[in-house]
Amino acid sequence: MKKVEHIGIAVKDLNISIPLFETLLNTTCYKTEVVDAEKVNTAFFQKGETKIELLESIAADGVIAKFIEKKGEGMHHIAFEVEDIVAEMERLKNEGFVLLNESPKKGADNKLVCFLHPKGTNGVLMELCQTIPIEA
């Protein structure tokens, strides 16, 4: 793993949370993006090397809606940047970690992603992410 790529925070309403985080972080939201497959609307902030991703559910049965219903708004996951997501998934699977998806899937911010089950990571949802190369 190269570094912490971002910290994901579950929020009820991006219209309220984006201005809050712009004030808190003293920076503007540089990108919003809908990830239909995950039923989520995202907003990104960057301070130096650190990125924050806000996650708002766009469906009552979405994973973020369920998370907020169970735990309330707050930290949802920590994402780690990796060079080769397939190799890292294989390594972690061989070490006994449970992957929540068997192959990488497309996530927000031009990333391939895979999540690790929090039961094997001290209750913290972990995400592996690799930037998708831009085709020339």
**pLDDT tens readout for residues 69-80:** 999 999 999 999
Alpha-carbon torsion angle 65, 21, 31, 118, nearest 10: -40
pLDDT at 131 over 60: yes
- pLDDT mean over 43-48: 96
- Nearest residue to 79 (alpha-carbon basis) of 132, 27, 4, 2: 4
Integer Cα distance of 34 and 3 in angstroms? 25
Amino acid at 126: M
Residue 102: partners with Cβ closer than 8 Å, 6 or more residues away: none
Structure pTM? 0.91
- pLDDT mean over 86-103: 96
pLDDT at 136 over 70: no
Q: What is the pLDDT of residue 1?
A: 84
Q: What is the pLDDT of residue 62?
A: 95
CB 53 within 8 A of CB 109: yes
